[in-house]
Structure 1
Amino acid sequence: MTASATPFMVKWFEIMDSTTPERVLDMITDDFQISILFATADGAAEFKGDRAGLETYLAQREVSVLVHHVTHGHKVGDTEVLLGETRRDGAFEASFNTSTQIDPASGKARRMLICRTPSVSFSD
């Protein structure tokens, strides 16, 4: 894991994996925009928008059930990019990638794009 290369997103996913994932709402700017394309074996959904879009995503999550494992990460300018997988009870469930633009003035997320699918595993 490249935690030192992507400290913001590592912290984000630590919070997302906790019993209080709503704390990530303190990590976003006032002009925050997000798109999460969330695929399962049964189909896909997109959660998008501003703070309200993130709140909608958080409301449907299984709290502390899926754990994020970052496998690769890199920071380019003000953007952190990473690849990882979610695991349920230690077993692979899906791969994900994330691109997050960090506002340099506040240190908060300004733009975020997350894609998730069980169809592709990078650890096979």
Structure 2
Amino acid sequence: MTTTPLLQAWFEIMDSTTPERVLDRITDDFRLSILFSTGDGAAEFEGDRAGLEVYLAQREVSVLTHHILSGAAVDGTEIVLGETRRDGAFEASFNASAQLTEDGAKVRRLLICRSPRVRFTD
């Protein structure tokens, strides 16, 4: 998918054995909110670089994979709809919105929402 190259690369890095490399793709004024629902409860990870580091520290490295189903870029913002899979099986749907720097190289703002309650593929 070429319409959202930064988010595509972001999730490829997140699925790797070294997800902390996404820290190289954020700006000094980076802000994020990740709302992570398991269906039985939800947690929010928010903040700046330190907030992203907290999120990265609690992840199961290379266990879940992200699969982008569709995406679009509008005025310096990339938006994707996708799903996470565990051992190839659906686990949750997610959407992500990233505001990029003018050159499209880094993320300034990141909003991700995840839930197993709605599935877009069936």
TM-score category of the 2 structures, normalised to the smaller one: over 0.9
1:28 to 22, 26, 29: 26
Counterpart pick for 1:98 among 96, 108, 121: 96
The structure-2 alpha-carbon separation of the partners of 1:97 and 1:111, relative to structure 1 and needing over 3 Å to count, comes to same
Q: CA deviation at 1:42?
A: 2.2
Structure 1 letter corresponding to 2:50: A
Query: Given the two structures, how large is their TM-score scaled by the length of structure 1?
Result: 0.96
* Alignment match, 1:113: 111
Instruction: Give, as a single letter, the amino acid of the residue that structure 2 aligns with 1:59.
Output: A
The unaligned stretches of length 5 or more in structure 2 are none
Structure 1 residue 76, shift from structure 2 partner = 0.2
The equivalent position to 1:37 in structure 2, one of 35, 38, 51, is 35
C-alpha displacement of 1:47: 0.1
**Paired position in structure 2 for 1:71:** 69
- 1:95, distance to aligned residue in structure 2 (A): 0.1
**How many angstroms apart in 2 are the aligned matches of 1:4 and 1:11?**
10
How far does the alpha carbon of each residue in 1:77-98 deviate from its partner, in whole angstroms, 9 at most, with x for none?
A: 1000000000000000000000
Give RMSD over aligned pairs: 0.9
Instruction: Tell me how many residue pairs correspond in the alignment.
Output: 122
**What is the deviation of 1:6?**
0.2
TM superposition score normalised by structure 2: 0.98
